[in-house]
Amino acid sequence: MALPKYTETQYRIWHYFYLFICTCVFIFLIAPLFVIFPLSFNAEEFLVFSDGMKRLDPDAFSLRWYHDMIYGTKNPWGLAAKNSFIIAIFATLGSVLLGTVAALGLSSRHMPYKALIMAILISPMIVPLIISGVAIFFFIAKVGLAGTHLGIILSHIILGTPFVVITVTATLSGFDHSVTRAASSLGSDPVNTFMKITLPLILPGVISGGLFAFVTSFDEVVVVLFLAGLENTTIPIQMWTGLREQLSPTILAVATCLIVLSVLILVTAELLRRRSERIRGIAR
């Protein structure tokens, strides 16, 4: 981004102003996440940087909130984490299964009414969550699954499938169908062709769709708020209650763990995206 030597002063000033604006926006985007990190190691109970922390005094830092998160008396985080993972894993499996199969059908050029069906399949993503929440609640309550894990899993499958459908159809758009035809002509049955040829090629898309579905379920509050009873509380629900009632440093410890988790997911997603682009041969 170095400016050419002949740049006039006014454009030079303008350019530095532009860089300054960009810096501010980047700080605005990322800084909030880094506030949580040091405060979760605060030795005191207040959610402000203590004088000791500003002096980097080792005594001002402690792991007590992490200790509290894991061993604290009647703390809900253990149960919430267990529930969150169970629900997210099963919801992801369901979304990936239904979504991938549907994407295979959708990318066939023989598919009738493609636009309409695509609109229905991705509708849970484009309809505001609160409306989806109300509708799903009515269904789950009607079939008597309110307050059960199964009910929450079923509703998260609804919210997760659009991501899988979109990522897998995107991967399939660059898919060379002659390879599956070649396999068939060599005597492979459709299931075998799918497992040996198609699946490995679209796997990056499937996994990144799965990641989206996992994050959607893991971070979902609105539907769970309508559906969950006390025994199927999840991490977002606990954070929601905590933030509404009293912002305690334990929440920050949990939040830090979640940020670490999202870094892991980000890295995985990024690696997958690059791999997928390489396979589809569109890497730049």
Partner 1 sequence: MSSETQKILTTDGIPLEESLKKAEKKNKIKAFLLVAPLLLYLLITYIFPIGDMFLRSIDDKMVTTMLPKTFKAMEKWDGKELPEEEVFEAFYLDYRILVKEKSFGKLATQLNYEKNGFKSILKKLARKQKKFEEGNYKEQIMKVHKRWANVEYWRAIKRRAPEYTYSKYLKGVDMYENEEGKIVQVEESRRVHKKLWLRTLEIAFFVTLLCFLMAYPIAHLLATLPMKYSNLLMICVLLPFWTSLLVRTASWMILLQQQGIVNDFFVWIGLVADDNRPEMMYNKTGTYVAMTQILLPFMVLPLYSVMKTISPSLMRAGKSLGGTPFVAFWKVYFPLTIPGIGAGCLLVFILAIGYYITPALVGGASGTLISNQIAFHMKSTLDWSFASAMGLMLLVGVLAIYWVYNKLVGIDNIKLG
Positions in 116-135 near partner 1 (CB under 8 A) = 117, 120-121, 123-124, 126-135
29: helix, strand or coil? helix
Residue 253 is a binding residue for partner 1 (CB under 8 A):
no
191 touches partner 1 by CB under 8 A: no
Q: Which of residues 239 and 279 has its CB atom nearest to partner 1 in the complex?
A: 239
Positions in 255-284 near partner 1 (CB under 8 A): 255, 258-259, 262-263, 265-266, 269-270
> If 0-12 CB within 10 Å is exposed, 13-18 middle and 19+ buried, where does residue 112 land?
exposed
Letters for 159-188 (x = contact with partner 1 by CB under 8 A, - = none) are --x---xx----------------------
If one asks whether residue 1 binds partner 1 (CB under 8 A), the answer comes out as yes
> Closest distance between partner 1 and the C-beta of residue 194, in Å?
11
Q: Three-state SS for 242?
A: helix
Nearer to partner 1, 120 or 230 (CB): 120
Candidates 80, 87, 88, 154; binder of partner 1 (CB under 8 A) is: 154
Q: Tell me the closest approach of the beta carbon of residue 251 to partner 1, in angstroms.
A: 6
Cα 163 to Cα 124: distance, rounded to the nearest angstrom: 10
Please provide residue 48's backbone torsions phi and psi, each rounded to the nearest 5 degrees: -125, 160
> Rounded distance, CA 244 to CA 225, Å?
13
Q: Could you give the angle at the alpha carbon of 266 between the alpha carbons of 151 and 240, nearest 5°?
A: 45
CB of 218 to partner 1, least distance (A): 8
In the complex, the smallest distance separating the C-beta of residue 69 from partner 1, rounded to whole angstroms, is: 14
- x/- mask, partner 1, residues 7-36, rule CB under 8 A, reads ----x------xx-xx--xx-xxx-xx-xx
CB of 22 to partner 1, least distance (A): 5
Alpha-helix runs per DSSP H in the chain: 9-39, 51-54, 64-71, 77-106, 114-126, 129-142, 149-173, 178-185, 190-193, 199-218, 222-227, 235-245, 249-279
Binding part of the chain for partner 1, among 67-75, 172-180, 237-245, 275-283 by CB under 8 A, reads 237-245
For residues 206, 208, 210, 216, the Cα torsion angle rounded to the nearest 10 degrees is -150
Q: Which two tokens stand for residue 238?
A: 């606990």
Is 43 a residue that touches partner 1 (CB under 8 A)? no
User: Residue 41 interacts with partner 1 (CB under 8 A)?
Assistant: no
The least CB distance from residue 161 to partner 1, in Å, is 6
d(CA 237, CA 239): 5
Contact 168, 103 (CB under 8 A): yes
244, 245, 281, 282: which one contacts partner 1 (CB under 8 A)? 244
Contact set for partner 1, span 49-88 (CB under 8 A)? 49
CB of 35 to partner 1, least distance (A): 5
CA distance 252 to 44: 13
